[in-house]
Amino acid sequence: MKKTAIELSDGRELIYFDEHDDAVRSEIDRRRLPPPPPASELRYDPLVDEWVAIATHRQTRTHLPPSDECPLCPSTPERSTEIPAYDYDVVVFENRFPALSHRLPATPPEAPTPLSDARVGVGRCEVVCFTPDHQASFASLPPSRVRTVLSALADRTAELSAMPDIEQVFCFENRGEEIGVTLRHPHGQIYAYPFVPPRTRTMLAAARRHAERTGGLLLADVLAAEREAGVRVVAGNEHWTAYVPAAARWPFEVHVVPHRHVLDLAGLTDEESAAFGPVYLDVLRRCDALFDGPLPYIAAWHQAPARHPDRELAYLHLQLTSVRRAAGKLKYLAGSESAMGVFINDVRPEEAARMLREAQT
């Protein structure tokens, strides 16, 4: 894989990840763009001990443009996009409308109350383009391209985690307008947070309690139990197992977990990276076969935080969740889920696993 970094016309970084070492990336950004916005504001919510990003500039971000105006397609002689090249394999670039940024505002934010602190939303938000094909999806990629995407995510995880202000690197893909995507081109994102997000803190606390009680590694023990039970396993190979968790919150939820304890994407071996694609693509294609159409989903990589004292208790895994509960029906996060965080699942996890196993791909 060849890595080439360039600078866009407004100073943002773009990185090509090419599958051939002879790739030449000499194209320049021909656009005249305004400077990127300064970092957002982070406000502390003392009631739940969480930070909230206030990023008002994101109101103006591009929203579902027609395919001939897609900013993630390659450039052409007639039209310049976010990607100057006329073709590419995988591209990562700084988001033009970031929730977090290293570009500091002229004045720091002031705390709105004595109990609710405020600080600059230092961090980084990146866009990951999986393919130049606007009509493609992650499920349609060949395993070789999945491996390139994984290599790009591993590279970014290692580089962003090394930045002094970054505490957690989160790689994810939103797919489908039902999820809230604003660009239809197949792509993912990377958020580099200046704090450890609530979900990671909760999982680390649970892993710490399990370790103190049993001496074991929590997700390793969960994985072993799911593989032994078998009833919720959807797919797998020598290095990975995909299963519906016993307490799935979403109608269709699949965890894809490496058999070896790995902290983050940068820690995967070449063999593990190569083995991921066939399992994950199998899962995605089964998902799309459930209701004879593309399944909306969020694919979230859970990784170890960069410097947390319980970092070694983390366990890399991908969590795939969908709001689709039946053909033509969505799962909405209503009162119990949105206000109290208590999920009510409409589909029994064992039934979801059976449906996925029997889906014709």
* Annotated binding-site residue? 73: yes
pLDDT of 361? 77
pLDDT of 192? 98
Residue 238 neighbours by CB under 8 Å, 6+ apart: 259, 275
pLDDT of 27? 96
Instruction: Dump pLDDT digits (tens) for 94-134.
Output: 999 999 999 999 999 999 999 999 999 999 999 999 999 99
Say if residue 263 is exposed, middle or buried (CB neighbours under 10 Å; 0-12, 13-18, 19+): middle
* Annotated binding-site residue? 20: no
305-334 b/e (C-beta count within 10 Å ≥ 16 → b): bbebebeebbbbbbbbbbbbbeeeeebeee
* DSSP classification of residue 108: P
Tell me phi and psi for residue 352, to 5 degrees: -60, -45
* Distance (Å, whole) CA 4 – CA 35: 23
**Tokens read off for 223:** 């994985």
pLDDT of 360? 84
pLDDT of 48? 97
225 within 8 A of 231, measured Cβ to Cβ: no
Measured between alpha carbons, how far is residue 39 from residues 56, 110, 304 in Å? Answer: 10, 14, 24
361 within 8 A of 286, measured Cβ to Cβ: yes
* Distance (Å, whole) CA 327 – CA 274: 33
Task: Give the residue carrying structure tokens 């989903």.
Answer: 297
Residues of the chain with confidence (pLDDT) below 50 = none
Instruction: Dump pLDDT digits (tens) for 162-173.
Output: 999 999 999 999
What are 118's strand-pairing partners?
Answer: 43
Residue spans in the chain of domains classed CATH 3.30.428.10:
2-197, 199-358
* Annotated binding-site residue? 185: yes
Instruction: Dump pLDDT digits (tens) for 302-334.
Output: 999 999 999 999 999 999 999 999 999 999 999
In the three-class reduction of DSSP (H, G, I as helix; E, B as strand; rest coil), residue 41 is classed as: strand
Tell me phi and psi for residue 174, to 5 degrees: -100, 130
Say if residue 336 is exposed, middle or buried (CB neighbours under 10 Å; 0-12, 13-18, 19+): exposed
Q: In what order do the strands lie in the sheet with 252-258?
A: 2-7, 13-18, 90-94, 124-129, 187-193, 168-175, 297-302, 317-322, 252-258, 240-243, 233-236
* Distance (Å, whole) CA 58 – CA 98: 7
* Annotated binding-site residue? 239: no
Which CATH architecture describes the domain 2-197?
A: 2-Layer Sandwich (3.30)
Q: Is 187 designated active site?
A: yes
Strand boundaries in the chain, DSSP class E: 2-7, 13-18, 40-45, 50-54, 90-94, 118-121, 124-129, 168-175, 187-193, 233-236, 240-243, 252-258, 297-302, 317-322, 324-326, 329-330
pLDDT of 289? 97
Tell me phi and psi for residue 219, to 5 degrees: -70, -30
Catalytic residue among 187, 210, 239, 255: 187
pLDDT of 292? 85
| CATH code of the domain occupying 199-358 | 3.30.428.10
∠ CA 319-148-286, nearest 5°, is: 45
